[in-house]
Chains A and B, each alone.
Chain A
Amino acid sequence: MKKLILSIFFLFILSKSVNALVEVDITRGNLDPLPIAVSPLYIEPGSKDIKRDNKVIKNIGEEISKVIEVNFKRSGLFNPLKKESFVQKPDIAHVKPRFEDWRLIKAQALVTGKVTVTDDKLRAEFRLWDVVAAKEMVALAFSTTPDNWRRVAHIISDKIYKRLTGEEGYFDTRIIYVSETGPKTQRLKKLAIMDQDGANIKYLTLGNELVLTPRFSPKNQLVTYLSYFRNLPRVYLLDIETGVQEVVGDFPGMTFAPRFSPDGKKIIMSFAKDGNSDIYTMNLDTRVVEKITEHSSIDTSPSYSPDGKYICFNSDRSGLQQIYVMRSDGSNVKRITFGKGLYGTPVWSPRGDLIAFTKVHKGKFYIGVMRPDGSGERLLTQNFYQEAPSWSPNGRVLIFYRETKSDSEGKGFSAKLWSIDLTGYNERLIETETDGSDPSWSSLLSK
């Protein structure tokens, strides 16, 4: 009798700890990525073909699963297992997975799904299974247009990421950046946009004038950036859908370093006149312009806190570049950086908990984060030249750019986009067709 009670007791404990296995902790460096099997999605018979560049995509179910795998691999948190080792076929696996088969290849989580394609609709359903506990964890279905099939993969990736980490994902997002080509002394720069995994690159300007520092509006429909159109450097707005560009306001001098307010109603930027740069806002509806800083120093790189109540910015009012925080009406200006070196490009995390920045000290460039009061400074990566971090919408990953050394002929020069996790791990080169700089991350497209 005692033995029976004991063994039942042990079974209880075992099953409890077994349930807790399929979980991913993203607050610490992940040296043990979760083994996950992503089965190709089963294609409903009778489904129409989807074309890419006028060619039929051979196995859309497999293509979607590959996009999901790349997302998982690049996050550094998951280890997608090789498809060659899968035993169960996609159709059966989606209905009733034989967990022993999946446990054999050491999977702890399994993703299965089904797609149905008609002329104007792609319907996708997917399931996330806990292989260890032999249970279904998530089951969801949704529809979109057939040419949005990559977004299906990103949305599925985000749902799974959220279920396993407890955090919002960042896969259904885009990145806007400056595409660069040509010699260092006469760089050709164009605005470019792409999915966060590098697909669907589109160029938004022609390269006839210098363009710099593009940023998304909160709803991702507009971009604000600096353009040297007609040799007059000014902040502009670009509508991504229509391609229409318009100058922001009517300033008698250079405006630059623009960002949107969190509600999307204002542009905040610097305005330079007579050797002095101050921070201004302009309301896009009322066109009312407000002066936020009043100082003979350079005030630039403003960034709102996600609740819109505060602004962090870069100022050299104490002699060299430092980071300051003030209320959004310009009052209560407080310096928050006191360490050795220069600090620049402050950007507030969408989570509100941290400010990312660039630091320059003894000829080295660092990307780091600190709390909004300046405490807890943590440097994530060091390089010959790198700057301008931008946050993923879940505040867990930073994208930035690096440049390499060159000789006096410009040989050896390159500018590339890089990303790194908040933990300091998973430093990763982001492939772009051309060189790139000034990357900025959109918010989740599906919100």
Chain B
Amino acid sequence: MILGTNFKKFLIVILAGVALSACATQKKSSGMLQSDVYTGSDTVEYLATGVKDRVFFATNKSTLTTASRDTLRKQAAWMRKKKNLTFSIEGHADERGTREYNLALGERRANAVKDYLMTYGISGSRLSVISYGKERPVNSGSNPLAWSQNRRSVTVKAK
């Protein structure tokens, strides 16, 4: 049954190849987008070492992911140390929606961030909210990756 064994080996090689390539594809998408939320580090800036300045959202949503809440807890911890600073929280949307609704959605996203920071002891008087709707994309591309990078709320030090 030499044929049989060889065929088995052949099958194993093929299957392994398929599994590996599937793994590779998984890695690519989970590295960038998970449940429609951007999880990468391109476009991300830092308020301080280890303190990311932004969180990302799924299409039409303003809910904070686990990763977002982790980022915001770090922001809050840093803000508690910098008591003289105030911040502007910007809310943004991607271009795949109507302009006026996107303005409202941006405001909702920025407010979700503000509310979360306040639960970690940051006074609301230090946090102002501004929505830019879809007016200020960070990635000009017309593709799902670009759109996911644009669905964001950015914490900016007030001047």
Contact = CB atoms under 8 A, between A and B. Distances in A.
Nearest to B109: A275
Interface in A45-66: none
B150 to A, nearest CB: 10
A408 interface: yes
Interface stretch (B28-36, B46-54, B68-76, B98-106): B98-106
Contact of B98 (A183, A210, A344, A403): A344
Interface string A170-193: 000000000000011111000000
B151 interface: no
Given A187-B135, A274-B111, A275-B112, A385 B140 contact: no
A316 B105 CA distance: 10
Contacts of A212: 99, 103, 135
B62 interface: yes
A142 to B, nearest CB: 40
B139 interface: yes
Given A212-B99, A387-B99, A272 B142 contact: no
Interface string A227-265: 000010100000000000000000001101100000000
Contact of B104 (A277, A388, A405, A438): A277
A344 B104 contact: no
Contacts of A276: 108
A185 B136 contact: yes
A345 B129 CA distance: 24
Interface string A399-436: 00001011111100100000000000000000000000
Interface string B132-151: 00011111111100100000
B50 to A, nearest CB: 27
Interface string A302-344: 0000000000001010001100000000000000000000101
B95 A272 contact: no
Contact of B100 (A300, A342, A409): A300
B45 to A, nearest CB: 15
Contacts, number: 104
B146 A408 contact: yes
B131 A233 contact: yes
Nearest to B145: A408
Chain A's interface size range is 35 or more
B130 interface: yes
B100 A254 contact: no
A256 B108 contact: no
Contacts of B100: 213, 256-257, 270, 300-301, 314, 344-345
B130 A231 contact: yes
Contact of B115 (A213, A253, A275): A275
A34 interface: no
B95 A388 contact: no
A326 to B, nearest CB: 17
Contacts of A342: 97
Contacts of B62: 275
B140 A410 contact: yes
Given A275-B107, A275-B108, A277-B107, A254 B101 contact: no
Interface of A: 183-187, 210, 212-213, 226, 231, 233, 253-254, 256-257, 270, 272, 274-277, 298, 300-301, 314, 316, 320-321, 342, 344-345, 358, 360, 363, 384-385, 387-388, 403, 405-410, 413, 438
The 4 A-B residue pairs whose C-beta atoms are closest, nearest first, are A275-B111, A410-B140, A344-B98, A408-B141
Interface of B: 60, 62, 95-101, 103-105, 107-108, 111-112, 115, 129-131, 135-143, 146
